[in-house]
Chains A and B, each alone.
Chain A
Amino acid sequence: MNFKLSALAAATALALSPVTQAGEVEVLHYWTSGGEAASVNYLKDKLASEGVSWSDFAVAGGGGESAMTVLKSRAISGNPPTAAQIKGPSIQEWGELGFLASINDVAERDNWDELLPSVVSDVMKYNGEYVAAPVNVHRVNWLWANPEVFQKAGASIPTTWDDFLVQAQKLKDAGYIALAHGGQAWQDATVFEAVVLGVGGPEYYQQAFVESNIQALDSDTTRKVFETFGQLRQYIDTNSPGRDWNVATSMVINGEAGMQIMGDWAKGEFTVANKQPGTDYVCVAAPGTSGSFTFNVDSFAYFAQGDADKTSAQKAMASAILSTDFQEVFNLNKGSIPARLGMDRSAFDACAHASMDAFVSSSQTGGLVPSFAHGMAVSEAISGAIYDTATNYFNSTDSAEQGVQQLIAAISAAQ
């Protein structure tokens, strides 16, 4: 009943709306929880005020796994949604298959080329034309720590991976769980990624995990990466498999665990628990990655539609996404930083400021790298291969050498 009423209300509002621009966007996305849903609603209302109605198609779960299944079935039946939450190299794959619509005229009108950093705009373009609009930039390589726990254990916050192992041991000896972790494949991959970047540096990261260069992979650096990664096994608790990431974050919040390696979305958990950055919790770059930035950009790609109304609605949506007010609201909710440059940063907190500074500085030093754990660096097939190897290695007692060989085999097979 509720639903009918609100639909009716929306329809009336639409009919009464003075704006001439009409049309509907049907949006397939996988943001269904608290802050994310609120952000989606903000965009929905903003579009409604422009006379564009929003038909919501949310499918949560598995980092968009179910949503992508829906998208593929709908694409194959010639009935794709107007916009879908897709990111990274997948945008290129959809472009190659000829499904995406150019929104270049909006991008030109709104000056996207100047507003967006080139690492972001490159991902949004297929064949030189914009086909997607970026919502945010996440930094993945964060270390979240509980300073009180560190103080009690007499440990200091680690800045390199070698140091991490020393400090983690101190935490462990003091009876804490050193590293809060959730044993799900993507979380294993997130930690693995931080180790790769911290041990190997951005250049190695780029060659081995972005370009999938087998020679770079078959190296002592990779061996060292696996060795370090393997040593982390002893610093997590045995109940971790299957744990959600936010449960792991709450272990840091309530002082059960010392630290967690997780992207900036973890901040939302601290905020909800009324914790202040700097005093109640600390956000620093993951060990050995202070000059680097692994980015993860969420975006909406636009699917070609036969209908002119839908096309104009698409463009209205793309334009709304890049607006300063949406970027601010969304990113405050999500913990990330705006995808567009030159925004007022006063509303954001210290962690976000650090992230913004690192984003700019790392883009000049070459430390800005795409996150493979979050589908930004390589094709789904290759990132899947890395996931499998990382999660299997982390949950086994395999040696570093076995890890390296498994990784090389898996990546070669996926190419």
Chain B
Amino acid sequence: MTQSKQLMGRAFIYSLLLGFAIIYLAPLYVMLVTSFKDIEEIRTGNILALPNTLNFSAWSKAWSTACTGGDCHGLAPYFWNSIRIVVPSLVISTLIGALNGYVLAQWQFKGSNFLFGALLLGCFIPFQVILLPMAKLLAWVGLANTVPGLVSVHVIYGVAFTTLFFRNYYVAIPNELVRAARLDGAGFFAIFWHVFLPMSTPIFVVTVIWQFTQIWNDFLFGVVYSGPGTQPITVALNNLVNTSVGGKQYNVDMAAAIIAALPTLVVYLLAGKYFVRGLTAGAVKG
């Protein structure tokens, strides 16, 4: 390969990568600049133009004073509601997934593969289907329209994925490890705790990112199974964006949309590196 040919190749790769980067960034860029403009500027200007001045009023309005129904406290209270829902759902579903994955990969028994397949298929059930029977079930166990009820729903439908992630990760670990540990007298949980958990950081990162994104962004379960005062931020965002009277406040809408997406964005920014690493660890060796 000649020098110039190689240079051409590099140029091609870079321009392609950069081109796509611009396309991928465009929606975020549009949202961001819009959130800093005032309504007049949005109406008359170009969607790609930078705002004339950095105007934070839309942000403060979206956060603390915009009306989301009879209450006008902005997204702030709902933000904390979401945290209260996401944290327990995330912790529980990840731990259960880790244990399940450990069993399915290292302690296989007759029918365990079948269970795994059934679990994988089960998560293709459209969520609209389960709304009513789940509501009945939650009422039956006394958790209708409560935070624990909503958390349980997230855990139940999240476990399929967390199990999938952990199983694929643990399946790559040679079975001899378990056998050796058992010879040393270690039990089921001891092996999990002392042998498997310490090497699971990457897959924990992957699972946590995935689950955090799924649960934080959920609207359907949040709106149906929450109670008054415990609705997650997606419900508030939906109420805020769906205004029908008095002119659309695109800047507030966009600021609200970014606020609602902020925690997941931060998670991706901070942990994105580990994400690929975590996927790498379990990706091909299976």
Contacts and interface: CB of A to CB of B under 8 A. Distances in A.
Given A58-B68, A69-B224, A32 B144 contact: no
Chain B's interface: helix, strand, loop or mixed, by majority? loop
Given A55-B229, A69-B223, A76-B132, A246 B144 contact: no
A78 B243 contact: no
Contacts of B224: 69-70, 73
Taking residues whose C-beta sits less than 8 angstroms from the other chain, chain A's interface range is: 35 or more
Chain A's interface: helix, strand, loop or mixed, by majority? helix
Contacts of A34: 67, 243, 245-246
Interface stretch (A264-272, A364-372, A405-413): A264-272
Contacts of B242: 32-33, 60-61
A73 B240 contact: no
Interface in A31-73: 31-37, 40-41, 44, 54-61, 66, 69-70, 72-73
A20 B23 CA distance: 62
B70 A27 contact: yes
Interface in A121-144: none
Contacts, number: 128
Interface in B123-159: 131-132, 135-136, 138-139, 144-145
A73 B242 CA distance: 22
Interface in B39-71: 64, 67-71
B53 to A, nearest CB: 24
A79 interface: yes
Interface stretch (B8-16, B72-80, B98-106): B72-80
A37 B73 contact: no
A218 interface: no
Contacts of B67: 32-34, 37
B143 to A, nearest CB: 9
Contacts of A268: 245-246
B259 interface: no
A77 B144 contact: yes
Nearest to A5: B73
A56 B77 contact: no
B238 A246 contact: no
A360 B224 CA distance: 41
A242 to B, nearest CB: 13
Interface in A71-89: 72-74, 76-79, 81
Q: Which of A26, A59, A81, A265 has the most CB of B within 10 A?
A: A59
Contacts of B80: 3
Contacts of A246: 244-248
A31 B132 CA distance: 24
Given A32-B239, A58-B239, A79 B244 contact: no
B228 interface: yes
Interface residues of B, number: 38
B206 interface: no
A81 B139 CA distance: 14
A247 B244 CA distance: 9
A54 to B, nearest CB: 7
Interface in B241-266: 242-248
B239 A77 contact: no
B225 interface: yes
A82 to B, nearest CB: 10
B144 A60 contact: no
Given A32-B240, A37-B67, A272 B132 contact: no
A334 B246 CA distance: 10
Nearest to B143: A77
A3 B248 contact: no
B144 A244 contact: no
Contacts of A77: 135-136, 138-139, 144-145
B253 to A, nearest CB: 12
A72 B132 CA distance: 8
Given A34-B243, A55-B228, A246-B244, A3 B76 contact: yes
B156 to A, nearest CB: 16
B246 A56 contact: no
A362 interface: no
B235 interface: yes
Nearest to B77: A3
Nearest to B219: A66
Nearest to B69: A58
B75 to A, nearest CB: 11
B34 to A, nearest CB: 16
A56 B69 contact: yes
Nearest to A63: B244
Contacts of B245: 33-36, 246, 265, 268-269, 334
Interface in B204-242: 223-225, 227-229, 231, 235, 238-240, 242
Nearest to B74: A2
A245 B245 CA distance: 9
A29 interface: yes
B144 A78 contact: yes
Contacts of B246: 33-35, 246, 268-269, 272
A29 B67 CA distance: 14
Given A70-B223, A74-B145, A247 B73 contact: no
Given A70-B224, A76-B136, A250-B247, A59 B70 contact: no
Interface in A1-23: 1-4, 6-7
The 6 A-B pairs of least Cβ separation, nearest first, read: A58-B69, A3-B77, A33-B243, A77-B139, A34-B246, A56-B70
25 contacts: A1-B76, A2-B73, A29-B70, A32-B240, A32-B243, A33-B242, A35-B246, A36-B244, A36-B245, A37-B69, A40-B69, A41-B70, A56-B70, A56-B71, A56-B228, A57-B69, A58-B70, A59-B239, A66-B238, A70-B223, A76-B135, A76-B136, A77-B136, A246-B245, A265-B245
Interface of B: 64, 67-74, 76-77, 80, 131-132, 135-136, 138-139, 144-145, 223-225, 227-229, 231, 235, 238-240, 242-248
Interface of A: 1-4, 6-7, 26-27, 29, 31-37, 40-41, 44, 54-61, 66, 69-70, 72-74, 76-79, 81, 244-247, 250, 265, 268-269, 272, 334
